[in-house]
């Protein structure tokens, strides 16, 4: 599969590295270097990053936060991570631009599909922050939506595991890995690749998802160049 433009989804939790909370500077730097290396292959990269290393709206709601305010706090957490990634990319010499789903200049430009595509076509990394701008939607759903909007060839979901398994490989040593799997199979088997809204969006708009281990240095470039690592989820 050839990739001209991708949407890279990074988890906030991965940014913690070995820490219990917040941002591990070493992990952040490694991500920036990997993204720059991938961009040098000529592929255009949009990025959505989660906020779970700082705040999760859903877990906040269970502790007494209003769900809408909790989700808004989660959106702001993704903005903090996006600014950190932007700074790290700038430090390695990679041009980038931060767009936010809710207006908050001068922190970032208000997102629009056309401005994001224009940024990508200039060779910049477009970092798409603040989720969809709406409560009750995860950053997985935001990734699916943004991937479809910017006309990406695929969504790359960088995780801590090297693909989709029959069960959680961190808990079940007998779990086996899929090299390819359909969205319907993911749903029928109840696999936790993404939430249902994100899965449905990708399926209905024919946006394939590549699930791979982003924490193994160099994997992003390898998977872009077509190495058989990770799992391809398709229609």
The one-digit pLDDT tens for each residue of the chain (235 residues) are: 789 999 999 999 999 998 999 999 999 999 999 999 999 999 999 999 999 999 876 676 677 778 899 999 999 999 999 999 999 999 999 999 999 999 999 999 999 999 999 999 999 999 999 999 999 999 999 999 999 999 999 999 999 889 999 998 888 989 999 999 999 999 999 998 999 999 999 999 999 999 999 999 999 999 999 998 999 999 9
Q: Cα angle at 114 between 109 and 119, to 5 degrees?
A: 65
Q: How many independent structural domains does the chain possess?
A: 1
Domain range for residue 165?
5-234
Structure tokens at 85: 């990634």
Q: What is the pTM of this model?
A: 0.95
- The CA distance from 25 to 52, in Å, is 16
- The CA distance from 17 to 70, in Å, is 24
Q: At what angle do helices 196-204 and 139-149 cross, to 10 degrees?
A: 10
H helices, E strands: number in the chain: 8, 11
SS3 state of residue 120: helix
Q: What Rg, from alpha-carbon coordinates, does the chain have?
A: 17
- The CA distance from 90 to 130, in Å, is 20
The domain that holds 38 is classified in CATH as: 3.40.1160.10
Q: Compute the residue count for the chain.
A: 235
> Of 42, 50, 49, nearest to 5 (Cα)?
42
> Of 56, 68, 30, nearest to 220 (Cα)?
30
């Amino acid at each position: 599969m050839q990739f001209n433009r991708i949407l890279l989804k990074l988890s906030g939790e991965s940014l913690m590295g070995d820490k219990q909370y917040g941002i591990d500077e070493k992990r952040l730097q490694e991500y920036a270097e990997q993204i720059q290396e991938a961009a040098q292959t000529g592929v255009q990269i949009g990025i959505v990053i989660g906020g779970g290393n700082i705040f999760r709206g859903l877990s906040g709601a269970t502790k007494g936060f209003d769900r809408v305010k909790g989700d808004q706090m989660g959106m702001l957490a993704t903005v903090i991570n996006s600014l950190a990634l932007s700074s790290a990319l700038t430090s390695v010499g990679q041009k980038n631009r931060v767009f936010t789903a809710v207006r908050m200049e001068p922190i970032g430009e208000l997102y629009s599909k056309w401005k994001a595509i224009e940024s990508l076509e200039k060779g910049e990394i477009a970092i798409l922050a603040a989720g969809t701008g709406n409560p009750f939607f995860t950053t997985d759903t935001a990734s699916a939506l943004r991937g479809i909007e910017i006309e990406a060839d695929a969504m790359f979901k960088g995780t801590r595991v090297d693909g989709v398994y029959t069960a959680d490989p961190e808990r079940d040593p007998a779990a086996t890995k899929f090299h390819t799997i359909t969205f319907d199979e993911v749903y029928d088997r109840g696999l936790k690749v993404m939430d249902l809204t994100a899965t449905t969006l990708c399926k209905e708009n024919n946006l394939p998802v590549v699930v791979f281990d982003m924490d193994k240095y160099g994997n992003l470039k390898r998977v872009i160049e077509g190495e058989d690592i990770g799992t391809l989820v398709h229609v």
